Amino acid sequence: MSKGNLIDRYVMEVGRRLPEKQRADVQMELRSALQDALEERGLDANSEKDEAKVVALLKEWGKPSHVAEGYGARTHLIGPELQPIYWLVLRVNVLIISLVQLVLLVIAAFNQPEFGSLIGEAIGNLVNSFLVSFAVVTIIFAVLERFLPELKALAASEHKGALQEWDPRTLPEITPDRDKVDYVELVVEIIFTAAFITVINLAPGWQFSGDMAIVGEMIAKFLPFIPWITILTAVEISLDIYLLTQGRWQLATRWVSFGHAAAWVIVVASTLQAAPYSAVELVDSSVKMIIAIVIVITLIDAAIKLYRALRPGVPLPWENWRIEEDIEEMGERAEQFGKAMETRFKKTDRK
């Protein structure tokens, strides 16, 4: 499978940092210019024996981040130089807040018997603290980015490798980095999981009367599973927080993630033992159907996680399609443009 030659990767990397509306145009000019340079030196970007010379050419051209900056890439709230420090501060924050909340929870647990509502409260606090600290840290860094260019320069020179030579061979391949964690996804997952665990643990207290009594009966069937579900969500939140602090997936976390997904399949499947869920036939069969669907979803999730644990770094089939589509799309755009130009020139020739 083609992962793009150095030129493709370079053009992609520069474009990635530019605002959407000028990206295609700049990428096209950049590609055209690079082709001029290759031709001039009689190089072929796809030939292995020319690799060293192509590398030298790209080095002369400059680091993608510099080139993109020259094109006015300043869409970052927090620029590339401050980003490593920004993430570090955020991670440390998450870690400290989690520890503090955990300690508070343990202390409170000794003084108060109602553990369920305690957990709910603690998670509420945790989410609040995360959001507030995220906002505060982001605002501080955004201000630094705008008003303290000197500090930025300092951070850049301190950031390892800023002054060292740049090696085009380290350009990322045109493929998503599957070991890098997705921060947004993790934070969203933590918030929703926390909300879910809170709601679930409040369920025993719900009162249903009249027509709604069947709902109460149905929910009662699931009450025995709540501790298991709570444990599983707690594992999930812990794993997510750990991943936030690490920034990357490792083999161990991949396996924990798979184990967690597999445990979900077992817990969901074992809720089938509680059937029948209702004296009303329709309610009973709908609940069973929903559980069946959830089992299928959790099975697929577990299978994907098993695949990632067994074959780290190997893309899933649909991820490959996306990369190929990206490369194809770039090529197609250039072609379309070429054709449009041709017809335009033919027209002007005729005049």
Partner 1 sequence: MVTQEEYPALLENLGLELRRGALILAVLSQLGKKQYGYSLKQQLDARGLSIPEGTLYPLLRRLEGQGLLDSEWELADEARPRRYYKISAQGQQVLKDLSKEWQAISKALSGLLKSGGTK
Give the residues lining the site for partner 1 (CB under 8 A). 26, 28-30, 32-33, 35-37, 40, 60-63, 66-67, 70-72, 163-165, 334-335, 337-339, 341-342, 345
| Minimum separation from the CB atom of position 96 to partner 1 (A) | 34
Decide whether 49 or 346 has the Cβ nearer to partner 1: 346
- Min CB(17)–partner 1 separation in Å: 12
3-state secondary structure of 199: helix
**Residue 278 DSSP one-character state:** -
For residue 270, the minimal CB distance to partner 1 (Å) is 60
Q: Which is nearer to partner 1, 79 or 120 (CB)?
A: 79
Q: How far is the CB of 43 from partner 1 (least distance, A)?
A: 14
**Cβ neighbours around 245 below 10 Å, total:** 14
CB of 33 to partner 1, least distance (A): 5
Instruction: Dump the DSSP string for 34-61.
Output: HHHHHHHTT--TT-GGGHHHHHHHHHHH
The minimum distance between CB 4 and partner 1, in angstroms, equals 19
In the complex, what is the shortest distance from the CB of residue 334 to partner 1, in angstroms, rounded to a whole number? 7
Indicate the burial class of 236 (C-beta count within 10 angstroms; 0-12, 13-18, 19 or more). Answer: buried
Output 283 or 334, the one with its CB closest to partner 1: 334
Q: Which is nearer to partner 1, 2 or 157 (CB)?
A: 157
Exposure letters 141-155 (e unless 16+ CB within 10 A, then b):
bbebbeeeeeebeeb
Q: What's the rounded Cα separation, in Å, for the pair 300 and 84? A: 34
Query: Which helix or strand (DSSP H or E) is residue 319 part of?
Result: helix 317-350
d(CA 128, CA 257): 26
Nearer to partner 1, 60 or 211 (CB): 60
In the bound state with partner 1, the residue whose beta carbon lies nearer, of 18 and 97, is 18
Mapped onto helix, strand or coil, the DSSP state of residue 248 is strand
Q: What amino acid is encoded at 116 in this protein? A: G
Residue 16 corresponds to which tokens in the numbers above?
A: 């990635």
* Residues, the chain: 351
Comparison of 63 and 305: residue with beta carbon closer to partner 1: 63
Contacts 24+ apart (CB under 8 A), 200-206: 200/226, 200/229, 200/230, 200/233, 201/116, 201/117, 201/119, 201/120, 201/226, 201/230, 202/116, 202/117, 202/120, 204/116
Task: Kindly tell me which of 31 and 260 has the beta carbon lying closer to partner 1.
Answer: 31
- Shortest distance (Å) from residue 13 CB to partner 1: 12
